[in-house]
Structure 1
């Protein structure tokens, strides 16, 4: 598990997903070295890097060319040449249509196409496959839960609030990070 400060960041691209959230997503994914993972909306590649260390293959998707470039830089910096990641600079819907099957779909950016993305993921998700969705917007959380229910999943929801301490001369100042909703579901 890498520290947040290990990642290359640029102003034009969100991320990386914070360390505590990455750790929780890895745990909830129940990842194995036989899994094919799709990271939709990879941003700076925080999740791509973590999953690449553990999965058989990772497809890392973002429509922002700068996101794909910084994800590649983070892969090279942190994993050297020891990773099996296919970077896809495309919108999620088009990119997902090019992938034959997957065991884990991690959706962090949907470009307002979450329902269509989930329809495609559902078609291509292997039996016992897992879906993990992160969201900061309440509307996206509700949309994700409702769509997963429509697809006959039993979604689980949690809201994570992480604060980190900054040590000062007088004591410790707690600084809150954005709360993140995590929606998980497994295919039966």
Structure 2
């Protein structure tokens, strides 16, 4: 097994990656997983699955059905490759399409992660909430100011309880010829709430 730990935050280098498909980095992924409050048996939807790093973590943590959605066929192919690599392909349903079209066809689940809204934040949040069981957790991440604004409004206008907003800025070390320097990554805003 590639990741023989209960803790989230699988090392980025263990995932297959391509230049044109985004990955949620391990440090941010750990926080997202913690905000979901996962346990074995919970079902999940990962909207905007990208490389599949969150989908893999969800499948490993819950050992239950996970639905991964992305509109980019390269992301779908990469997600499938990573799920196979980590031995959790059987626990997932990978769906190529727009979340707006796919979500109405899915069953209700216990947790939903929104990693991308393609500019349709309000609609995707509302559709995600319609697929969330009572007591379920919704987590949305964004690096774009417009999405942050729209997500805040959509979540405040919803029936979500205990809405939490966290900004995370990570810096990672990099060796140079004269020592070690810290390289900052994009700040990420993480919204979470309970239905």
**Does the alignment reach a TM-score above 0.5?**
yes
1:125-140 matches, within 5 Å, as 125-140=132-147
Structure 1 length-normalised TM: 0.93
Report the equivalent of 1:29: 36
Runs of 5+ unmatched residues, structure 2: 1-8
| Contact 1:52-1:83 at 8 Å conserved across structures | no
- Rounded to whole Å, the distance in 1 between the matches of 2:67 and 2:37 is 18
The match for 1:72 among 75, 80, 83 is 80
| Contact 2:56-2:88 at 8 Å conserved across structures | no
Deviations 1:50-96 (A, max 9, x none): 1110121110000111100000011111x135640100001001111
Question: Aligned pair 1:122/2:125, yes or no?
Answer: no
Moved over 6 A (4+): none
Report the equivalent of 2:46: 39
- Rounded to whole Å, the distance in 2 between the matches of 1:175 and 1:84 is 36
Report the equivalent of 2:157: 150
| Contact 2:71-2:96 at 8 Å conserved across structures | yes
| Contact 1:162-1:177 at 8 Å conserved across structures | yes
Report the equivalent of 1:108: 115
- Rounded to whole Å, the distance in 1 between the matches of 2:186 and 2:90 is 30
Structure 2 length-normalised TM: 0.90
- Secondary structure at 1:17's aligned position in 2? coil
How far off is 1:33 after superposition?
1.2
- Rounded to whole Å, the distance in 1 between the matches of 2:117 and 2:51 is 15
Question: Aligned pair 1:181/2:189, yes or no?
Answer: yes
Runs of 5+ unmatched residues, structure 1: none
| Contact 2:60-2:88 at 8 Å conserved across structures | no
Give the number of aligned pairs.
185
- Secondary structure at 1:69's aligned position in 2? helix
Report the equivalent of 2:105: 98
